[in-house]
A and B are shown apart, each in its own frame.
Chain A
Amino acid sequence: MKKELGTFVLLVVLCAIVAAINPRFLTPTNLQNMSRLIGAFGILSLGLGVVIITGGIDLSVGSILALLGVLLSIMLVEWRWPPAFVVVVALAIGAGLGAIHGFLIAYWRIQAFIVTLCGLLFYRGLARFIAQDETKGFGSAKGFEWLHELATGEVWGVPTPFVLLIALSAVMWVVLHRSVYGRYLFAVGRNEEAARYSGIDTRLIIASAYVISGFLAGLAGIIFAFYTNSISPSSHGNFFELYAIAAAVLGGCSLRGGEGSVVGILVGTALLQVLQNLVNLLGIPSSLNFAVMGAVILIGVVADQLLRGRKG
């Protein structure tokens, strides 16, 4: 809880600084844009959080976004499949790829880093091959405007992705912090052996985390595809797995497993987006974007370590 609090304080301070220097930060348009991105990235981060809590990692989600973006365009525009069916297919592909990862990691005992790194390379290559390296889009979105709305629309002025994220977070909060399944996730992450000796089917639990991550990547994939509205297969979703990991870690997830919370992941995601926004609003050269993000994350983690060291 304390770690989330630290990140939250950092978030508030950053917001205050940016708002003080550039009041445009608080304009409805800016807040809307930012919360839309928080929504989309947050969904991805939640999935990563679940995987990280079990002590694993999922590097493949960015490439899954690209693959799904390309496939969505083809299914909707070229094959003219019914949009609702396409949504189901996209989510199923996400969950299915996650299931494959989970199976290899939990049952065949291949390291998560390796499995999902291969996924990262494979799906990116597959996306580029299927699209023949051409940018794919959705044209005027005729017949599936509602899908477009999912990414770009608003509910009472709040961007739909953000609303979705809040709803999902509520569900995930209950699942992670109140359910038997959540208890098992944390138990497996903290000490897989002890969990197994307590009769928990640890392999199933671990595999399921990747299914969740894949499924949420599928959902985020749909949102990102319609948000950008044009999918360039070589760059769509690039580095997004790293944003998601950074958000989860900033929010208190430990890469050793067994630690993390939904609230923390949300705060971490928001922090990253505020940082992006800060670069734009403060007139920092956008080429410095990554440098700013890296520096702030590092400072946050080092500060956390120092504070902890003083306690111990």
Chain B
Amino acid sequence: MSVSVRRVEAQRAAREVDVRPEAVPVLQMRGIEKRFGGVHALKGVDLTLQAGQVIALIGENGAGKSTLMKILGGILAPDAGEILIDGKAVVMRSASDAIRYGISFIHQELNVLDNLDVAGNVFLGREPVRGGFLRLLDRKRMQEETEEHLRRLGVGIRSTTPLSELTIAQRQMVEIAKALSLKARILIMDEPTSSLTLQETERLLEVVLELRRQGVAIIYISHRLNEVERIADRVIVLRDGERVGVLERDEITHERMVRMMVGRELENYYQHPRVKIEPGYFVVKDLRTARYPRERVSFEIGKGEILGLAGLVGAGRTDVAEAIFGIGAAQDGVRVRLAGEEIAIRSPRDAIRHGIYLVPEDRRRTGLILEATIRENVTLPAVERYARAGLIALARERHSATEICRRLNVKAPSVETWVSALSGGNQQKVVLAKWLALEPRVLIFDEPTRGIDVGAKAEIYELMRQLAESGVAILMISSEMEEILNVSDRVAVMHEGRLMGVLGRDECCEEAIMRLAVGQAN
């Protein structure tokens, strides 16, 4: 881990040399304007990109990053402004136009097909053919070229491996290989590390720097400022559709970026609990998950405590969280002790009945019904509270949902707004609202701030802190080291299904956590 950090640092030091500002920029966007109905999404944004340069585009959700990139990717047309490639003005009407100009877009949600192999994905839609009119797939050529690009990226994936056997990080490499085979000179990466483990993130950053060395121009969108700090040559900050700041290499610091993004200072550092933690409130003993049935996980969370659960992706943290919530436990459910009472949990209903709630990792799949209103989502676990004889009293339901949304500061026109129309941060608040209305005793957060902007993050941390102080026991799974260190009272660390140890506040630091996470016992 620390070795690769050093390697990245070394690469960064070495590359200061080869930026050539006098060359014609490979991309210039000038005065880009875009309106959606009454919303002024982009207000004259400029962006200049040189070959072999990494520009980080940051800003809160809704700041206009995606809109700007969709315009560059040919998906949206700008209302005003011009785009110059190699100094020549171009008009892009579609994504395929953009690809022709050497622009490739790696989306946050990867666009790969599970049922094809790596080469099939890289060449999807432009497969080389042989055999004349028979148009047979030239598999050999596909494989050879794919292998070549994979080698260039320095990843050890075979071109014949089915995508279904690859991890998310590897699939991403396949997308990058595809971009290379499209001869991309401008690579847009949207939140590329949001679902990667720490190690995979390191690997990806190395690849980004390698591509940069090979002369590819990269636009890197990320909420993770540590990454930005390490790889960006220049940072462009957007806020409310405006370019509010540009930071050059030596000006890029975490604090400056945060300040520009939110337009105010944030203190999101660890606050000592303002109430006394009562240990032994929620006790999990010998929990076995279906994924790691041989391991027995035991831990406890105090009343008023936030226990962080760290580990690499695949360490089995989500499995533990879901097992406690009544999903996917090995054999016949789970036994836990809550406030001295033995509880058997066989289904989410059991967990919910005892005030044990889960804010799941994948809120779009398991946390929310996207195509339903905020009201319906918030009251879903307990509609019967607003019902008499099985019939829902809509007015009461709406009133209660409105109340809780106001408490959580959910930004939406009304509780009748569809959840799919909300930003990630507000969607996460709606998930939280579901449970807060039900007086939680134990709350499990699985990656609570994934894909959420800085402002909403701070709000969610503050809420967690308040909940803990009101006597809730909180388990927080997170892959963001910052978050683990800033929010937890203690940190438990898992590795391949085993709980490696629990670190107290005074002994928990990045190194100690990483040691346990990679399987070295203390």
A residues near B (Cβ < 8 Å) are 174, 178-181, 183-184, 186-187, 190-191, 193-201, 258
Contact = CB atoms under 8 A, between A and B. Distances in A.
A191 B387 contact: no
23 contacts: A179-B387, A180-B384, A180-B390, A180-B391, A181-B390, A184-B383, A187-B369, A187-B372, A190-B369, A190-B370, A191-B370, A191-B371, A194-B368, A194-B369, A196-B327, A197-B325, A197-B367, A198-B348, A199-B349, A199-B351, A201-B349, A258-B369, A258-B372
Contacts of B376: 183, 186-187
Contacts of A195: 369, 380
Interface string B345-358: 00111011000001
Interface string B374-392: 0010001101100100111
A198 B392 contact: no
A191 B360 CA distance: 14
B369 A180 contact: no
A194 B365 contact: yes
Contact of A197 (B366, B370, B383): B366
Contact of B381 (A174, A190, A191, A199): A199
B434 interface: yes
> Chain B CB within 10 Å — which of A181, A195, A196, A197 has the most?
A197
A196 B369 CA distance: 11
On chain B, which size bracket covers the interface? 20 to 34
Given A187-B376, A198-B380, A193 B366 contact: yes
Nearest to B379: A183
A194 B383 CA distance: 15
Contacts of B358: 197
B392 A178 contact: yes
Nearest to A181: B390
A312 to B, nearest CB: 12
A181 B389 CA distance: 11
Name, among B347, B369, B371, the residue most crowded by chain A CB atoms within 10 Å (CB to CB): B369
A190 B391 contact: no
Interface of B: 325, 327, 347-349, 351-352, 358, 360, 365-372, 376, 380-381, 383-384, 387, 390-392, 394, 434
Question: Across chains A and B, which 6 residue pairs bring their CB atoms closest together, nearest first?
Answer: A199-B352, A198-B381, A191-B369, A198-B380, A197-B366, A199-B348
A174 B391 contact: yes
B33 to A, nearest CB: 22
Contacts of B366: 193-194, 196-197
Contacts of A179: 387, 390-392
Of residues A186, A195, A196, A199, which shows the largest number of chain B Cβ atoms within 10 Å of its Cβ? A199
A178 B391 contact: yes
Contacts of B384: 180
Report which residue of A191, A194, A196 has the largest number of chain B beta carbons within 10 angstroms of its beta carbon. Answer: A194
Which residue, of B360, B365, B366, B387, has the highest number of chain A Cβ atoms within 10 A? B366
A180 B351 CA distance: 20
Interface centre among B349, B365, B368, B380 (most CB of A within 10 A): B380
Contact of B434 (A193, A198, A200): A198
A258 B371 contact: yes
Among B325, B347, B383, the one with the most A-chain Cβ atoms within 10 Å of its Cβ is: B383
A149 to B, nearest CB: 33
Contacts of B365: 191, 193-194
A198 to B, nearest CB: 4
A112 B131 CA distance: 43
Nearest to B394: A178
A258 B370 CA distance: 11
B372 to A, nearest CB: 6
A201 B348 CA distance: 9
Nearest to A201: B349
B391 A186 contact: no
A193 B383 CA distance: 17
A302 to B, nearest CB: 22
Given A178-B392, A180-B384, 8 more contacts: A190-B370, A194-B365, A194-B367, A195-B380, A197-B327, A199-B348, A199-B349, A201-B347
A190 B434 contact: no
A178 B381 CA distance: 16
Nearest to A197: B366
A177 to B, nearest CB: 9
Nearest to B372: A190
